[in-house]
Structure formats: structure tokens, C-alpha cells
Amino acid sequence: MELTSSSHTSLAGNLALIGFTFGEALVTIFAYLARDWLLLKWIISGYFALVLPYLYFVPESPYWLFSRKNYNQLEHCLNKIATKNGRTHDQWHPYYIQLIQDPDIAARQAKHAARTTKEKFLKHVPLLILCGLIGFVTMLLYIKISYGLSAMNDAVSPYWNTIIGAAVEGIGYLSVSILITTPLGRKYTLMIYLLFTSICVLIIPFTTKPLPIVTVVISQIGKLTISGAVSITWVYVPEMFPTSMRGLANGVFVFVGRCGAIIAPIIDAAVSEEKLKITFYVYACLTIILTGSIYFLAETRNRSFHTDEDEEKSENDDKPQADNDNENKNEIAMKCMRIPTIFRSNRIDTLQSAF
């Protein structure tokens, strides 16, 4: 996602998740053919090993290089991007030089470097907690709806249930990739999908026994909405943090999310069938609480990944004129280049890459 411009961030994130649905269907086919968990493990490990060499050719993120002041590598990376996009050296290099020599950016870099790791961490603790809650609830619901219900319901073969679910999941990702680029943005689209998920979770207990086929349909609708919600979070959460905190934020988000994914089947196994309905009500309430909490987050649509210097700049409200001057400089650069900007406003925005 960091290798694309802000206008392509959501596309990059959602393409990766759509690829996940193909993998989900492929694993289901492997499981059907293997019929043995140990053999399935070796098949999946071998398949995964085929992907590892590709990682060697993935370029480093320009955002990270800029935040670490690795200007030589950054220049090489941007030159490679510009070349792939058919741009000459003179069309982008002067603006790159202007950026790295900007005294305001140098001052903000020094100010940010003066902050201790503890200060940087404590400043983002509330947001990290909320992002962890987002990951926990969304993955809890995802596992519950995707795999818990397919195991509970015998109306459809579990293999077909998983394959159909993968197709439904792909539709959820595609629908989200469209909606998050509309005025709804990331925040309100996520809230809508979570609310629809909570409605599905509330309905399922009333249809499980009397109407098993209806339960399958509702669970697939729920999978569509929760898959869309998961897709949004993978784009939304990284966009809320500066470069220095983005890796930690993603780590917290994924770790707490996996805790939710682990807890979901444990709860299903530990709770008796008579009390299983209560879990649906608890999950629905958690989802509604999470939706209300998301309302207070910032919208990140049309905003590229921001750097540590951007964060310092947002705190310097006593220098509005300098900020406006920088914005005007970048606007002129955008018009002169007539291509996706390398740097937009006070936020770094790399050219659309095509490696």
C-alpha cells in the first residue's frame, strides 16, 4: 500500500484481500483432496514456499526511506518509479531536491527525533487501543460467521459452504473498494458494514433450527458485510498512523485481531448449545459499541500515508503561513508535472508504481 499513491491505496489493499479469497478456495480444494491434516499442512507449506522468492524483488517503501533519511536509496527508488511511469529525470528530481532541502521539514525532523520512544508511544496509546478493539471484534465475528456457522449447519456441505463463502467474501471486498472512494469514505462505510453485520448476528439465533437454509443465506450476507468491514480496517488502520508508528499499529491490530480469531471457536466449543444464543447477542452488542467508537475517529479518504514530520506539522498551529507556503509550492509542482504527485500538500505521496 505504501508503494502506491493515495488514490490507489484502497485498490492495492483490496486487491490483496481479494487474493485471499482465491487462497481460501484453493485451501478448501487441497483439504478435499488431501483428507488428512498433516498432508494438507505440507501442501500449504510448499505452496507458501513458492511465494517467498518474490519478496526479494519487492522494493522498499519510499515513506520508510524518507523517515529514516536514507536519501540515496529514496532517490533511487523514486527514479525507478518515475522510469516505470514514463517520466524523465527533470520532471521530478528538482521537486525531490526541494523537499529534502526544505528547512521546515528539517526542523520538524529534528523535533520529532528529539521525542523519546516512550513519548511517541504514549501519545498514540488511546488510538492503538481502539484499533486493537477493531481488530478483535472484526476477526471474532469473521471467524464466528465464516467457520463457526458452517460447522454448526449441516444443510450445506462444509466444503461448498467455504467455497461459496469465499465468493461472497470477494463480493464484499469489491463492494467496499467502491464505497470507500465515495463521500462515505473509510469511516462511514465501516460503520454501515458493521451495523449490517450486527443485524445478521442478531437474526441468526432465531432461524438456526426452524429454517436452516435461511440461516445459511443470512450467514453468507453476514460474511459479505464482515468481510467488507475487515477489508476496510486493513486500509483504514495504517492510514491513521505516522510512519514511525505504522508498523507497531499494524502489529497491535493483527495480534489482537488474531486473539479474537482464536477465542471465537474456543467459546463455541465451551458454551453449551442452550446458551450459544447468548454469544450472538454479546457479539452484536460488541459490534454496536465498536461502531459508536469508530464515529469519533478521523476520516482518511483522499489522504495519503502521513510521515512523522506531518505529525509535527499538525501540532504547529502557530505557523499557518509557513504551512500555506509549503502547500502552494507543492500545488505548483503538481500542476507542472501533470502526473500523480510525488509529494502532495504536506503528506508524501509516491507515484503510482508499476514494478
- Among candidates 127, 161, 160, which has minimal Cα distance to 237? 127
pLDDT tens per residue, range 245-303: 788 888 899 999 999 999 988 988 888 877 888 889 999 999 999 999 999 888 887 66
pLDDT tens per residue, range 58-86: 777 777 777 777 788 888 888 887 887 78
- Among candidates 53, 69, 133, which has minimal Cα distance to 101? 69
> Which band of pLDDT confidence, cut at 50, 70 and 90, is reported for residue 118?
low
Residue 355 has pLDDT above 60, yes or no: no
Cα separation of 220 and 204, whole Å? 11
Residue 333 has pLDDT above 60, yes or no: no
Buried b (16+ CB within 10 A) or exposed e, 304-340: bbbbbbbbbbeeeeeeeeebeebeebbeebbeebebb
pLDDT at residue 5, as a whole number: 61
Three-point CA angle 331, 336, 337, nearest 5°:
100
Residue 112 has pLDDT above 70, yes or no: no
The CATH fold of domain 6-54+119-294: Growth Hormone; Chain: A; (1.20.1250)
Cα separation of 105 and 57, whole Å? 31
Do the beta carbons of residue 330 and residue 345 sit within 8 Å? yes
Cα separation of 153 and 87, whole Å? 56
Residue 177 has pLDDT above 70, yes or no: yes
Which amino acid is residue 257, in one-letter code? G
Ranges assigned E (strand) in the chain: 343-344, 347-348
Mean pLDDT of 97-112: 64
> Which band of pLDDT confidence, cut at 50, 70 and 90, is reported for residue 110?
low
Cα separation of 343 and 239, whole Å? 16
Backbone CA torsion sign across 142, 146, 148, 149:
positive
Residue 338 has pLDDT above 50, yes or no: no
Buried b (16+ CB within 10 A) or exposed e, 99-123: beebebbebbbebbeeeeeeebeee
Cα separation of 92 and 86, whole Å? 11
Q: Comparing 213 with 120, which gets the higher pLDDT?
A: 213
> Which band of pLDDT confidence, cut at 50, 70 and 90, is reported for residue 8?
low
Cα separation of 160 and 44, whole Å? 20
Q: Comparing 88 with 229, which gets the higher pLDDT?
A: 229
Cα separation of 59 and 255, whole Å? 25
- Among candidates 248, 223, 222, 250, which has minimal Cα distance to 234? 250
Residue 148 has pLDDT above 50, yes or no: yes
Three-point CA angle 307, 310, 315, nearest 5°:
140
- Which burial class, exposed, middle or buried, applies to 260 when counting CB atoms under 10 A from its CB (0-12, 13-18, 19+)? buried
The cell for 246 is 505504522
pLDDT at residue 140, as a whole number: 92
Structural domain spans, the chain: 6-54+119-294, 62-115+304-333
Cα separation of 150 and 152, whole Å? 5
- Per the prediction, the chain carries an average pLDDT of 75
pLDDT at residue 327, as a whole number: 45
Cα separation of 273 and 250, whole Å? 36
pLDDT at residue 162, as a whole number: 75
